[in-house]
Structure 1
Amino acid sequence: MADQKVSNSKSGQGLDYQTVHQQSLDNPAEFWSEQAKNLPWYTAPKTTLEKDEQGSWRWFPDGEMNTCYMAVDHHVEQGRGDQVAIYYDSPVTMTKRSITYKELQNDVATFAGVLADHGVVKGDTVVIYMPMSPQSVIAMLACARLGAVHSVVFGGFAPRELAVRIDDAKPKVILTASCGIELHNILPYKPLLDEALFQANHQPDYCIVFQRSHFNAADMKEGRDVDWKEALLRTTPAPCTPVKATDPLYILYTSGTTGTPKGVVRDNGGHAVAMKYSMDAIYDQQPGDVFWAASDVGWVVGHSYIVYAPLIAGLSTILYEGKPVKTPDAGAFWRVCSEYGVKALFAAPTAFRAIRKEDPECEMAQKYDLSKLQYLFAAGERLDPATWDWLNHSLGLPVIDHWWQTETGWAIAANPMGIEPMTTKPGSSSKPSAGFNVKIFDADGNQQPAGEQGSIVIQEPLPPGCLYSIWGNHQRFRAGYMDPFPGYYLSGDGGYIDEEGYLFVMGRTDDIINIAGHRLSTGEMEEVVASHPAVAECAVIGIHDELRGQLPVGFVLLKDGHLLDPTVMEEAMVRLVRKKIGPVACFKKVMVVNRLPKTRSGKILRKLLRQIADGESYTIPSTIDDPECIDEISMIMAERGLIERQPVKEDDAPLQ
């Protein structure tokens, strides 16, 4: 049991946003020391912030704790063991389950015993390659319980991509399941893992396999493969292992990695403090509330806001194995919110656009009691004003865009609903969160005035919860993030801050195009195109042009039921952009498509579209959701004369 009883103080509530944010910048050590008091440490930190031998800022270096204890055992000790910790809802398997904190404690401790039986100790790495099932969460927490470092690889990744992550993380044990399910497709995880291990140089001591009862059991390799359920029968529960706050909790490889992977490293102490703070300050969640992050545990959203933050804060979290549409319909999200009394729903904008495409009038939402739903949060990509308008008009709820990255682990900028809700500006992720000192730089490192676009950077020290290195390659961390502008973290995104301090993230810096010397944002053009009532989703890219340097091209996905002639649609889009941005945009080509290439987390692969259009060789990222759409879009580009022939597809990133 932790030896420190913590206060029940809120994370800045009672103060206005500006005061809270300024305090966090003026005296970060004092500010975050106060937030750390809201957690049950084994040994409370006396030192809040210092630099390590590699020059990285580290939080709470002398604190001792265990993340699993904070997320599970502490709540049981506080008498809340009968509260539901996890609602598991799987429309693809027709399964529902409610898991209390006491049940979760037992399940996690028992599986931690299994890991210990197979040699896993503090500091070891464990790769988790599993579907959206309770066993995935149990596995993550069991690793944290032992002080082992987990690395979740999105279930269904191609063998090669899994292999390079195995070689980088070098796990002692790999955890997997016999299969995953996506709509009507069965994804054979175990055969994919077997192929990955055939390709990998590193070999684990054991693979522990959860055989899903709905489907045929996977083949097992004698001496290496262990049946999950059988192992549970012959183990004893394991206690929590104390770790330093600066010890790593997990490795998460950034999406789209090819070649040498880039593993973001998250620590235990700073991460726990940031997770607890964000649930209070940004999401306005209190113990017992029901919170739903409609993502996957394979992504950073799943790590932060399906698993760790809700449980550390004593909430009930939802683990959903399904889609926003077709499981069974466009009312799936609203059904879940109604059934479990969700207070806040957090999803990627692409999920909301998928719902909007199939149910343009949001009629399905009227079938459910959404009286407990207070907030809609969006992140993962830019929330375009058209989607914001649709959500706001359809549901009449606060629609909160917020911006963060795998590297930061939580929101760089957000509307802090637990401190001081702000006036919302469509297209803006509001203002920087506590501890994030955000600035806009030009290419030479000069700070840009209000309204001027540039690279978004964050002044050191980054607040708790952010990455402090790349797994096994600190130099890569320095070179990619910290060295371009010494003293600042380079986000890789571009945007601007307006006169009132609102941040507008316009996309990756390589999505700024140069048209005859004019720097224009494709994000701005997407805003305009998306405002057309027939458009469900769109992407605008810049392609090479001999005369002007670059020209924009739009790709449009129409809402269901809209059968507009593509030529009419193109003319309408061109007029809109000309009216809203001006002739300088040279926006003249729009292509109506049936689908857009996206990662499984919902990000549109604009770089891939640009490479195809410019005739460059390209690789299909392992994170792509629908590889076949690339051939379809390439054909449309060829028909429109955008390309003469399909570019060369490299062999080092095979299709799923």
Structure 2
Amino acid sequence: MNADQLYRDSIADKELFWQQQARQLDWYTFPETILGSDETGYPQWFPDGMLNMCYLAVDRHVAKGYGAQVAVIYDSPVTGQQQKYTYAQVQQEVAKLAGGLRGLGLTEGDTAIIYMPMIPQSMFAMLACARIGVIHSVVFGGFAPHELSVRIDDCKPKVILTASVGIEGKKTIPYMPMVTEAIALSAHKPEHIVHVDRKLAGIKPAKGVIDYAALVAAFAPVPCISLPSTHPLYVLYTSGTTGKPKGIIRDTGGYATALQFSMTHIYGAQPGEVFWAASDVGWVVGHSYIVYGPLLNRNTTVVFEGKPIMTPDAGTFWRIISEHQVKIMFTAPTAIRAIKKEDPEGLLVKQYDLSCLRTQFLAGERCDVATLDWYEQHIGVPAIDHFWQTESGWPVLGLQRGVEQEPIIRAAAGKPIPGYDIRVFNDNGYELDAHHEGYLVIKLPLPPGTLTGLWNDPERFKRGYLEQFTGYYFSGDGVIRNEDGYMFITGRVDDVINVAGHRMSTAEMEEVVAGQPEVAECAVVGIEDTLKGQVPMALVVLKQGVTDPEQVPAAVVQLVREKIGAVACLKEVLVVQRLPKTRSGKILRKLIRTMIDGKAYQVPSTIDDPAIIEELQEQFALIKK
């Protein structure tokens, strides 16, 4: 069967298709109902099935005789450490940590926050939570205490699992002190903090903090418990247009089914092969393709601590591929662009034998053709772009490399993946023909593995995703389809920007910028960047009587770094006299973006004072010079 036929089958009879895929898993109770609905009427997959994600990812492989296979390769060039864990060793580590969490009083349905660097204990913590039905919420370590505090108050964890420090290049990131500060800022106070002492930088845990190693040593291992398919595996926060992060809820059975399907059909991974997603467990890529996806498929997964240019040299990626015999790699285009910048002639590539690498996947942002050309010229394997979201949990658009070698079309994100009934709509909900830009929408029900709601906010879930077009999921992305079914993502249509593959809310940044005492009003927009794809720029109007306006931009940058974190990448702050607004007072952010990018624009008839445009045009022209 070819890829197009497989896709058609998945749309023609969704229940039969996903029933067949679900049989690839080892369920405690196989579902009799394949597609049901929750109390609100929203679709639910496999609602009466019983299973456990940790069992599927770890224990079943040990039970089938694969305990000696390497499950995890930890490679940390920033600390000079390497360590390998077999499936049997992972099972023992996870089962004892799960016993420790249960000893602290955590039970099925409780929540835990994991705020750690890229170390094996971060994925052990995720699996231990899954083992006993605790809902985990991993928070990216690059977020500042304020952002961590927001998530603590929303998901109300009984425990926070963290580490003493993380290492990024020559910088030491003090995780434990940031956790202490975040809890001080939070209304909710977790009952316990569990701390991995990395014995680096002299940072010690605060009084009353539980040592991770001591906790694991003190408790006996516990088995996996049987959980409903609909039990939330995790809550993962993503940026929203209102500024407040959205807690994406992921179920267990649908997610496991979708990830197993994707590993074999999309990525073409064979059990036993080494699969490397060069991301972080704090993002959805890390959840799906560092932890759960590869382990479900009995692959060896790489946990990489560091960034390609912040590690000893730009050849680190190629060293890891060669040394660990990586067959399939997955990263964001930003990483490849950074390596290309440091090694434009590909000289470092020639130092390593990369014959093991079969396919390179790219996601998180659009990849420019020049970067694709550089990669294929110097690496010599297909570089395949594909598209998905935190909300989807696994690819929406791509190519099914495990089914057939479909042609790669430059700049395209691929074709719809089985299960996603994708349409291209205009503002009025009419479907558009090929070569017309519109909204990417997906007919309900979404396939298994996609979000099942927002944590503690069902109304926001409906309002943000389901009300724009009745019966369809609204992705928030623009798209163009060609006559062969390939789709080209044109970018977000809301105020969320894509910084190096990470979604960041400009509304959230505006809240922080507006908190600077000298700022009267502000606008934050995403502008094009050759390395990161997009970066934010802030335009600020100062209050009357500010005595030292030249100091304001640096103060704003520092404030955003303190409140959100370096991941926001806000470095450009422009002091302006006025912001372009409609007569009703709405700031014209799209117009600002257009002007900054130097594209043609028209002054809207709703604007109060067209002279503002001329003022801003002059300032943007100076920036470009």
TM range (shorter): 0.7 to 0.9
- C-alpha distance in 2, partners of 1:553/1:639? 16
* Counterpart check, 1:155 vs 2:132: no
Are residues 144 and 498 of structure 1, via their aligned partners in 2, closer, same or farther at CA, if it must alter by over 3 Å? same
Give the Å deviation of 1:156: 3.5
Q: Is the 8 A contact 1:156 1:189 kept in 2?
A: no
Give the Å deviation of 1:627: 4.4
1:233 aligned counterpart, secondary structure = helix
Larger mean Cα displacement after TM superposition, 77-86 or 413-422: 413-422
Q: 1:336-375 counterparts in 2 under 5 A?
A: 336-375=320-359
**Match of 1:239?**
223
**Match of 1:604?**
534
* Counterpart check, 1:416 vs 2:400: yes
2:454 aligned counterpart, secondary structure = coil
Give the Å deviation of 1:622: 2.2
2:78 equivalent among 75, 92, 104: 92
Q: 1:507-526 counterparts in 2 under 5 A?
A: 507-510=491-494
1:363 aligned counterpart, secondary structure = coil
* Counterpart check, 1:392 vs 2:376: yes
* Counterpart check, 1:36 vs 2:9: no
* Counterpart check, 1:52 vs 2:29: no
2:619 aligned counterpart, secondary structure = coil
1:80 equivalent among 61, 66, 82: 66
Are residues 41 and 444 of structure 1, via their aligned partners in 2, closer, same or farther at CA, if it must alter by over 3 Å? same
Q: Which amino acid aligns with 2:278?
A: A
1:173 equivalent among 131, 134, 159: 159
Are residues 369 and 183 of structure 1, via their aligned partners in 2, closer, same or farther at CA, if it must alter by over 3 Å? same
* Counterpart check, 1:207 vs 2:134: no
- C-alpha distance in 2, partners of 1:236/1:632? 58
Are residues 283 and 615 of structure 1, via their aligned partners in 2, closer, same or farther at CA, if it must alter by over 3 Å? farther
**Match of 1:321?**
305
Q: Is the 8 A contact 1:161 1:258 kept in 2?
A: no
* Counterpart check, 1:642 vs 2:619: yes
Q: Which amino acid aligns with 1:90?
A: S
Give the Å deviation of 1:482: 0.7
Give the Å deviation of 1:257: 7.9
2:443 equivalent among 459, 462, 476: 459
* Counterpart check, 1:630 vs 2:572: yes
**Match of 1:432?**
416
2:491 aligned counterpart, secondary structure = strand
2:396 aligned counterpart, secondary structure = strand
- C-alpha distance in 2, partners of 1:95/1:632? 43
Are residues 361 and 245 of structure 1, via their aligned partners in 2, closer, same or farther at CA, if it must alter by over 3 Å? same
* Counterpart check, 1:101 vs 2:78: no
Q: Is the 8 A contact 2:528 2:534 kept in 1?
A: no
**Match of 2:584?**
none
**Match of 1:529?**
none
Are residues 503 and 645 of structure 1, via their aligned partners in 2, closer, same or farther at CA, if it must alter by over 3 Å? closer
- C-alpha distance in 1, partners of 2:471/2:39? 16
Q: Is the 8 A contact 1:57 1:461 kept in 2?
A: yes
Give the Å deviation of 1:643: 5.5
Are residues 325 and 553 of structure 1, via their aligned partners in 2, closer, same or farther at CA, if it must alter by over 3 Å? closer
Write the deviation string for residues 432-486 of structure 1: whole angstroms up to 9, x where unpaired.
Answer: 1010111110011110111100111111110010001000111111100011011
- C-alpha distance in 1, partners of 2:37/2:527? 46
Q: Which amino acid aligns with 2:293?
A: A
2:453 aligned counterpart, secondary structure = coil
Write the deviation string for residues 227-258 of structure 1: whole angstroms up to 9, x where unpaired.
Answer: 11122221111111111000100000004787
Write the deviation string for residues 70-104 of structure 1: whole angstroms up to 9, x where unpaired.
Answer: 00000000100000000000011110001000000
- C-alpha distance in 2, partners of 1:365/1:436? 37
* Counterpart check, 1:133 vs 2:60: no
Q: 1:559-574 counterparts in 2 under 5 A?
A: none
- C-alpha distance in 1, partners of 2:257/2:178? 37
1:236 aligned counterpart, secondary structure = coil
- C-alpha distance in 1, partners of 2:534/2:528? 11
Q: Is the 8 A contact 1:250 1:266 kept in 2?
A: yes
Give the Å deviation of 1:604: 2.4
Q: Is the 8 A contact 1:88 1:320 kept in 2?
A: yes
Give the Å deviation of 1:270: 0.3
**Match of 1:198?**
184
Give the Å deviation of 1:321: 0.1
Write the deviation string for residues 475-510 of structure 1: whole angstroms up to 9, x where unpaired.
Answer: 111100011011111110001110000010011125
1:71 equivalent among 29, 47, 57: 57
Give the Å deviation of 1:141: 0.2
- C-alpha distance in 1, partners of 2:526/2:253? 46
- C-alpha distance in 2, partners of 1:135/1:554? 37
Write the deviation string for residues 276-322 of structure 1: whole angstroms up to 9, x where unpaired.
Answer: 00000000001101000000000000000000000000000000001
Q: Is the 8 A contact 2:58 2:91 kept in 1?
A: yes
- C-alpha distance in 2, partners of 1:468/1:387? 36
- C-alpha distance in 2, partners of 1:18/1:71? 30
Q: Is the 8 A contact 1:60 1:270 kept in 2?
A: yes
Q: Which amino acid aligns with 1:629?
A: K
- C-alpha distance in 2, partners of 1:615/1:355? 39
Write the deviation string for residues 389-448 of structure 1: whole angstroms up to 9, x where unpaired.
Answer: 221222221111000000000100111100122111111011010101111100111101
2:213 equivalent among 223, 229, 233: 229
Q: Is the 8 A contact 1:614 1:643 kept in 2?
A: no
Which structure 1 residue ranges, 5 or more long, are not aligned? Answer: 1-14, 513-521, 524-540, 542-551, 558-595, 647-656
Q: Which amino acid aligns with 1:204?
A: P
Write the deviation string for residues 537-594 of structure 1: whole angstroms up to 9, x where unpaired.
Answer: xxxx9xxxxxxxxxx997565xxxxxxxxxxxxxxxxxxxxxxxxxxxxxxxxxxxxx
Give the Å deviation of 1:642: 2.2
**Match of 1:492?**
476
Q: Which amino acid aligns with 2:26?
A: P
Q: Which amino acid aligns with 2:173?
A: L
Which structure 2 residue ranges, 5 or more long, are not aligned? Answer: 499-505, 507-524, 544-552, 577-595, 597-614
Are residues 204 and 258 of structure 1, via their aligned partners in 2, closer, same or farther at CA, if it must alter by over 3 Å? farther
% identical aligned pairs: 47
Write the deviation string for residues 187-224 of structure 1: whole angstroms up to 9, x where unpaired.
Answer: 111111111101100011101111112332423223xx
* Counterpart check, 1:183 vs 2:169: yes
Q: TM-score, normalised by structure 1?
A: 0.79
2:419 aligned counterpart, secondary structure = coil
- C-alpha distance in 2, partners of 1:475/1:186? 40
Q: Which amino acid aligns with 2:534?
A: I
- C-alpha distance in 1, partners of 2:433/2:570? 44
- C-alpha distance in 1, partners of 2:565/2:240? 6
2:234 aligned counterpart, secondary structure = strand
Give the Å deviation of 1:363: 1.6
- C-alpha distance in 2, partners of 1:632/1:388? 33
**Match of 1:649?**
none
Q: What RMSD over aligned residues (CA atoms) do the two structures have, in Å?
A: 2.7
- C-alpha distance in 1, partners of 2:461/2:427? 20
- C-alpha distance in 2, partners of 1:463/1:19? 17
Are residues 137 and 554 of structure 1, via their aligned partners in 2, closer, same or farther at CA, if it must alter by over 3 Å? closer
Q: Is the 8 A contact 2:142 2:565 kept in 1?
A: no
**Match of 1:530?**
none
Write the deviation string for residues 329-380 of structure 1: whole angstroms up to 9, x where unpaired.
Answer: 1111100000000001100000000011111122211111111101010000
Give the Å deviation of 1:623: 5.5
Q: Is the 8 A contact 1:613 1:642 kept in 2?
A: no
**Match of 1:584?**
none
Q: Is the 8 A contact 2:241 2:495 kept in 1?
A: no
Q: Is the 8 A contact 1:265 1:471 kept in 2?
A: yes
**Match of 1:582?**
none
Q: Is the 8 A contact 1:256 1:622 kept in 2?
A: no
* Counterpart check, 1:17 vs 2:3: yes
Give the Å deviation of 1:629: 2.7
